[in-house]
């Protein structure tokens, strides 16, 4: 079992190494045909190991969930002079279930990216970094030692920086990558010290040893360690107050958004709390802090999603909100419910992001203001994205209904008897119910504005370049996506066709801001030559982008019925479930009524003066800029001026003083021999007088 698990982790790692080193051979080969051949090799190098890793993960999960239980193995022990580091792996139902989620979503993203980035000459490095990202997350999932887990934790942070900033030519993309890197690093500092506190208190960094030693630790040690760990969890899983990096991470390619938001980075923090849940259960104040952060995060992010015009940012704030649901379940003591929702959310959120990528790829804009009327033209995407939105709202019979039911029941039970204080439990449950209604509202709004009504006109900002329909060469990097609600930038096209080749001119009464050129005679194809389907005036994405979406829709529909191996997870609590469904339908009904009155207008207009604060996510970024960014910038300028005027001034002053002194010395060196002899005689005379006087 341990050998198979090691293969699950190593296969993506070897794919990353092979992809970085071998995709550009033979050396010197560049240009359209050579780049396309390199991309095809890179795709095979990435996809084949991903398939094998997924199959092995499925087998491991089956064996673990059907009776093997927990398996551990130590590959090596590294002496450090104090506490040794045990390089070992752990296989149990928790790790095996999450590993299946990671490998399935990673494979879907790899296949989807074949069509999505077909014309990007940096695709080989992109696919290799996805493989490394996958391997790092699998290491986090299966690590038996906290320091080994930390290695995978940090590698994920590096990969997220590289992948979010894939289109680094756009300054907004590079800034988003740096922001994600810095914000998560802030949390990781506390995370590392939390590991040190737990390891020193337990006398070992092995997870099993740490959990077994919790009863012998003082309450102060446990609370301190868990609060420090919670900082890293807040950073990785985008929880209040370290959540601000996640919406900006939409600057990365859509497949990366699906990977980060569904199965890897944001899932790591929730998984860690579940893995160390016996430790957190012994720290009541930490659970209260987690509950309050979850309550604020789930409702605040849902309200922010309700006002966004960028489809990907709607899904980004939705991710923050759903992760807060999981954190709330963990705070309420229900780690099984949290992991069940983590798995179901991973499936339907990856589905939603990949569907959103197809819509954006087709329309040429991230903004819902430029969408509408797509249900008949993109039927497969419409059906699968409808399934994803239903799961997000928690409607039966999709998986999100069952997992959200478990989460709400755990919070309801915490009101009566649980690890939380009464105030924290009441705040958590109240915000959770309110979030259900708001989730129904923003999901319905995004669904209606994307697929119903007519294609809307949207003026391009002066800074944006209108879509001209020009084909993009195979040697041109992919275009960046929009990262703000007011940017309308096309996504990357294939090497043979621009985005105009994915959409025909709109013939309805309204005309979009895009200047779409006529359809090309040569159909758009992906790296493997798969042509898109033809529906209506628009064409759906290549088969390599559609198949992952269809495949992810299946577990989204069926995952709730299986219970994912957790006892009682599929049992429906009908009272709570009925309340949840009614609240979700109430939010959806309000949006539908407002939209029905004016299909071309945005239902968010009813928010009135609250719309701008919600669209700006309560100005948290502005607050952080005022409290942290601007003072640091002012301090940096002060340091620069001090360095220039004091440090460098002292150096320059010493140079000027030396030059002045040398000018004085030079006066005595004028070449007059008589003066030199006189000076020598004067010196001799002074020495003689001194000798006589002193002698």
Which alpha helices (H) appear in 364-378, and where do they start and end? Answer: none
User: Considering the entire predicted model, what is its pTM?
Assistant: 0.82
**What confidence score (pLDDT) does residue 493 get?**
36
* Integer Rg of the chain from CA: 31
DSSP letter assigned to residue 284: H
Distance, CA of 439 to CA of 59 (rounded, Å): 35
Mean pLDDT of the chain: 82
Longest dimension (CA), the chain: 119
Q: At what angle do helices 123-142 and 146-164 cross, to 10 degrees?
A: 160
Q: How many helices (H) and strands (E) does the chain have?
A: 25, 4
Burial 158-172 (b: 16+ CB within 10 A, else e): ebbbbbbbbbbebeb
- What integer is the mean pLDDT of 641-665? 86
Residue 271 has pLDDT above 70, yes or no: yes
- What integer is the mean pLDDT of 293-313? 94
Q: How confident is the model at residue 411 (pLDDT cuts 50, 70, 90)?
A: very high
**What confidence score (pLDDT) does residue 31 get?**
58
Among 35-39, 383-387, 437-441, 646-650, name the one with the lowest average pLDDT. Answer: 35-39
Q: At what angle do helices 265-275 and 254-262 cross, to 10 degrees?
A: 10
3-state class (DSSP) for residue 77: strand
**What confidence score (pLDDT) does residue 456 get?**
64
Contacts of 568 (CB under 8 A, 6+ apart): none
**What confidence score (pLDDT) does residue 53 get?**
95
- What integer is the mean pLDDT of 232-238? 91
Strand partners for 73: 89
**What confidence score (pLDDT) does residue 261 get?**
84
Based on the number of CB atoms within 10 Å of its own CB, is 631 exposed (0-12), middle (13-18) or buried (19 or more)?
A: exposed
Q: In the chain, what percentage of residues exceed pLDDT 90?
A: 52
Contacts of 599 (CB under 8 A, 6+ apart): 372, 448, 452, 453, 454
* Pairing verdict, β 71-78 and 85-91: antiparallel
Residue 678 has pLDDT above 60, yes or no: yes
Based on the number of CB atoms within 10 Å of its own CB, is 62 exposed (0-12), middle (13-18) or buried (19 or more)?
A: middle
Question: What phi and psi, each to the nearest 5 degrees, are found at residue 149?
Answer: -60, -40
3-state class (DSSP) for residue 421: coil
Q: How confident is the model at residue 516 (pLDDT cuts 50, 70, 90)?
A: very low
Q: How confident is the model at residue 178 (pLDDT cuts 50, 70, 90)?
A: very high
Q: Are the C-beta atoms of 441 and 308 separated by less than 8 Å?
A: no
Residue 498 has pLDDT above 60, yes or no: no
* Pairing verdict, β 534-535 and 85-91: unpaired
- What integer is the mean pLDDT of 253-276? 90
Q: How confident is the model at residue 32 (pLDDT cuts 50, 70, 90)?
A: low
Q: In the chain, what percentage of residues exceed pLDDT 70?
A: 84
DSSP conformation letters of 501-554 = GGBPPP-SSS--S--PPPPPSSPP--TT-PPPPEETTEEPPPHHHHHHHHHHHH
Residue 473 has pLDDT above 70, yes or no: no
Among 299-313, 326-340, 470-484, name the one with the lowest average pLDDT. Answer: 470-484
């Amino acid at each position: 079992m341990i050998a198979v698990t090691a293969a699950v982790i190593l296969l993506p790692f070897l794919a990353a190494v092979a992809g970085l080193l071998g995709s550009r051979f033979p050396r010197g080969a560049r240009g359209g045909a050579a780049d396309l051949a390199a991309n095809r090799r890179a795709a095979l190098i990435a996809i084949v190991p991903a398939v094998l890793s997924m199959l092995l993960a499925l087998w491991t999960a089956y064996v673990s969930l059907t009776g093997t239980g927990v398996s551990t193995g130590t590959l090596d022990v590294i002496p450090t002079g104090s506490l040794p580091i045990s390089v070992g792996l752990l296989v149990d139902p928790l790790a095996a279930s999450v590993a299946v989620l990671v490998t399935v979503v990673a494979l879907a993203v790899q296949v989807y990216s074949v069509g999505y980035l077909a014309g990007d000459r940096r695709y080989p490095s992109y696919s290799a970094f996805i493989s490394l990202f996958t391997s790092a997350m699998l290491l986090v999932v299966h690590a038996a030692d906290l320091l080994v887990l930390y290695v995978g934790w940090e590698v994920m942070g590096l990969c997220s920086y590289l992948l979010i900033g894939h289109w680094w030519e756009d300054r907004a993309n590079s800034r988003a990558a740096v922001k994600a890197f810095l914000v998560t690093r802030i949390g990781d500092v506390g995370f590392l010290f939390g590991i040190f506190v737990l390891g020193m208190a337990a006398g070992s960094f092995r997870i099993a040893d740490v959990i077994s030693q919790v009863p012998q630790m003082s309450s102060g040690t446990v609370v301190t360690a868990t609060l420090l760990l919670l900082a890293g969890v807040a950073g990785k899983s985008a929880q209040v107050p370290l959540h601000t990096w996640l919406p900006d991470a939409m600057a990365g390619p859509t497949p990366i958004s699906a990977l980060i938001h569904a199965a890897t980075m944001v899932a790591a923090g929730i998984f860690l709390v579940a893995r160390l849940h016996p430790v957190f259960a012994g720290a009541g104040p930490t659970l209260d802090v987690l509950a309050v952060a979850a309550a604020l995060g789930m409702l605040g992010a849902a309200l922010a999603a309700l006002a966004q015009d960028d489809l990907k940012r709607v899904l980004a704030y939705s991710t923050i909100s759903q992760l807060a649901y999981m954190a709330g379940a963990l705070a309420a003591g229900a780690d099984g419910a949290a992991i069940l929702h983590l798995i179901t959310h991973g499936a339907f959120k990856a589905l939603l992001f990949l569907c959103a990528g197809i819509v954006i790829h087709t329309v040429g804009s991230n903004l819902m203001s430029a969408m509408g009327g797509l249900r008949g033209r993109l039927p497969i995407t419409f059906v699968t994205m409808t399934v994803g939105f239903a799961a997000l709202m928690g409607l039966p019979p999709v998986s999100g209904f069952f997992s959200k039911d478990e989460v709400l029941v755990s919070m309801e039970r915490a009101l009566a008897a649980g690890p939380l204080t009464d105030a924290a439990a009441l705040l958590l449950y109240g915000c959770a119910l309110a979030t259900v209604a708001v989730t129904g509202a923003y999901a319905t709004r995004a669904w209606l504005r994307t697929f119903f009504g007519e294609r809307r006109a949207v003026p391009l900002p002066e800074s944006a370049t209108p879509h001209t329909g020009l084909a993009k060469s195979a040697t041109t990097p992919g275009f960046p996506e929009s990262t703000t609600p007011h940017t309308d930038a096309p996504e990357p096209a294939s090497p043979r066709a621009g985005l105009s080749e994915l959409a025909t001119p709109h013939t309805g009464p309204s005309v979009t801001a895009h200047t779409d050129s006529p359809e090309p005679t040569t159909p758009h194809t992906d790296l493997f030559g798969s042509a898109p389907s033809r529906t209506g005036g628009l064409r759906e994405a290549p088969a390599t982008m559609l198949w992952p979406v269809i495949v992810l829709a299946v577990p989204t529909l069926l995952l709730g019925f299986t219970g994912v191996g957790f006892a009682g997870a599929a049992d429906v609590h009908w009272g709570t479930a009925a309340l949840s469904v009614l609240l979700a339908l109430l939010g959806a009904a309000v949006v539908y009524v407002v939209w029905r009155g004016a299909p071309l207008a945005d239902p968010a207009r009813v928010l009135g003066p609250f719309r701008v604060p919600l669209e700006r996510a309560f100005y948290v970024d502005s607050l952080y800029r005022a409290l942290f960014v601007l003072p640091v910038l002012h301090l940096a300028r002060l340091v620069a001026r001090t360095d220039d005027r004091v440090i460098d001034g002292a150096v320059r002053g010493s140079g000027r003083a030396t030059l002045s002194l040398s000018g004085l010395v030079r006066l005595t060196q004028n070449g007059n021999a008589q003066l030199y002899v006189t000076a020598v005689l004067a010196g001799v005379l002074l020495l003689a007088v001194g000798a006589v006087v002193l002698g």
